């Protein structure tokens, strides 16, 4: 068939992906494409914040399943967080994960190393030995509570040319909370997590980043105050970037239901927070969108808001949800979304372009968790009607995902 109906996304720095030969993979696939439809080619998306749970928690997710779910979502590169068993805090522990990645991953998987040993916040990990084996340093899942420890970490990371990516959370402000301390929590008798627990540690770490000159990245921001602090820090010359996740941009605590599918950390916050995050996307304060893909077993997510584990899956729904709500909703352009999902993450974390995906942006469907390739099924977007369906993902010259014929 004539490939004229396959159009590369233009108008972004994604032209750097032009070294990829878009045509070579179509010889095995073009007979499945409908010549009456128009398809769009995107550079492979890059998610700098995922949890693939292996080694240690393979009942929740495996590197193989996580990578397949990423490929289905149009991702060709992801960065895996180190809160595993063993924690990725030394060469021997990260070697275990890298062996599994080499054997089972169908896309590029870049491991993080922990900032502190055991993510306990008491002693730095073997940062010098880990630098060449990891994409960056993070204790994600836990905030580094000691200011002195974070300062030492940033000084060491700067000397190694690495980024510190922080889960910012003040433990003493959590007070047993598990959803946002807002209207829904007050109306339904739930324990709330204050926005202050997030932004106070961001404020502290931004000061340390300014002092040390370290490259600092803030994980999964959710609060309006966090956006403003980062905006001001950037204007002040601090070497900082940040991410937010699709659920914080599309949902707020007015959308909560009594289901573990709506429980994540940080929590869905108020409408003003969601609008502040969107403004942060528009004005460039927020550099990228990451899913914080965090699978759990069904029984771990079936205990309601109070009893369920924190975390939802997101790799297979991210683009479609964001395209439907933000692009078709007129909030940002398609080119901007590609920058946030593919271009900016690669720039900041020095991750090369490595593939592409082909999408039918007019295809509409309902999100069905039972059909996910991830082992996780928990998503607040179940049953949501979205637009944009991936037809093909190519990584390293190989087809790693192809939509099955209906």
Q: How far apart are CA 283 and CA 242, in angstroms?
A: 13
215-218 and 192-193: which strand pairing? unpaired
Whether 396 and 29 have beta carbons less than 8 Å apart is answered as: no
Whether 63 and 109 have beta carbons less than 8 Å apart is answered as: yes
Which tokens hold the place of 267?
């929590």
Whether 345 and 290 have beta carbons less than 8 Å apart is answered as: yes
Give CA separation, 117 vs 15, 59, 126, 351, in Å. Answer: 40, 24, 8, 26
Backbone angles phi, psi at 70, to 5 degrees: -65, -45
- The b/e string for 291-321 (b: 16+ C-beta within 10 A; e otherwise) is bbbbbbbeebbeeebeebbbbbbbbbbbbbb
Length of the chain: 406
Q: Which of 181, 273, 287, 292 does the annotation list as catalytic?
A: 292
Q: How far apart are CA 286 and CA 339, in angstroms?
A: 11
Q: What is the separation of C-alpha 345 from the centre of its chain, rounded to a whole number of angstroms?
A: 10
Q: What is the separation of C-alpha 57 from the centre of its chain, rounded to a whole number of angstroms?
A: 19
292 carries an active-site annotation: yes
Q: What is the 3-state secondary structure (H, E, C) of 164-231?
A: EEECCCCHHHCCCCCEECCHHHHHHCCCEECCHHHHHHHHHHHHHHHHHCCEEEECCCCCHHHHHHHH
Bond prior to 55 in cis (omega within 30° of 0): yes
Catalytic residues: 292
């Amino acid at each position: 068939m004539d490939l004229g109906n396959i159009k590369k996304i233009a108008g972004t720095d994604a032209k750097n992906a032009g070294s990829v030969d878009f045509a070579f993979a179509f010889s095995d696939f073009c007979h499945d494409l409908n010549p009456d439809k128009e398809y769009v080619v995107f550079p492979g998306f890059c998610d700098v914040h995922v949890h693939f749970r292996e080694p240690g928690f393979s009942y929740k997710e495996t590197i193989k399943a996580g990578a397949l779910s990423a490929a289905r979502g149009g991702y060709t590169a992801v960065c895996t967080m180190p809160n595993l068993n063993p924690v990725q805090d030394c060469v021997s522990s990260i070697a275990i994960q890298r062996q599994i990645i080499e054997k089972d991953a169908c896309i590029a998987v870049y491991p993080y190393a922990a900032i502190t040993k055991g993510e306990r916040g008491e002693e730095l990990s073997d940062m010098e030995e880990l630098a060449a084996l990891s994409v960056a340093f993070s204790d994600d899942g836990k905030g580094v509570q000691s200011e002195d420890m974070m300062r030492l970490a940033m000084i060491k990371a700067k000397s190694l040319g690495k980024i510190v990516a922080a889960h910012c959370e003040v433990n003493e402000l959590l007070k047993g909370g598990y959803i946002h301390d807002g209207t829904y929590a007050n109306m339904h008798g739930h324990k709330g997590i204050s926005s202050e627990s997030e932004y106070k540690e961001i404020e502290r770490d931004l000061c340390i980043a300014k002092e040390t000159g370290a490259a600092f990245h803030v994980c999964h921001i959710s609060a309006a105050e966090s956006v403003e602090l980062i905006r001001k820090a950037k204007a002040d010359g601090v070497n900082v970037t940040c991410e937010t996740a699709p659920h914080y941009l599309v949902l707020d605590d007015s959308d909560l239901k009594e289901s573990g599918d709506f429980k994540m950390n940080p929590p869905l916050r108020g409408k003003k927070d969601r609008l502040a995050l969107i403004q942060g996307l528009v004005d460039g304060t927020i550099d990228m969108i990451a899913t914080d893909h965090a699978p759990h077993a069904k029984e771990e997510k079936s205990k309601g808001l109070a009893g369920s584990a924190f975390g939802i899956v997101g790799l297979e729904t991210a683009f479609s949800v964001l395209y439907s709500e933000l692009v078709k909703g007129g909030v940002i352009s398609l080119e901007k979304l590609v920058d946030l999902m593919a271009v900016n993450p690669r720039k900041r974390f020095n991750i090369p372009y490595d593939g592409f995906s082909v999408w039918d942006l007019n295809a509409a469907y309902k999100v069905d968790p039972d059909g996910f390739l991830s082992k996780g099924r928990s998503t607040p977007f179940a049953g949501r009607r979205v637009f944009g369906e991936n037809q093909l993902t190519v990584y390293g010259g190989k087809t790693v995902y192809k939509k099955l014929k209906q």
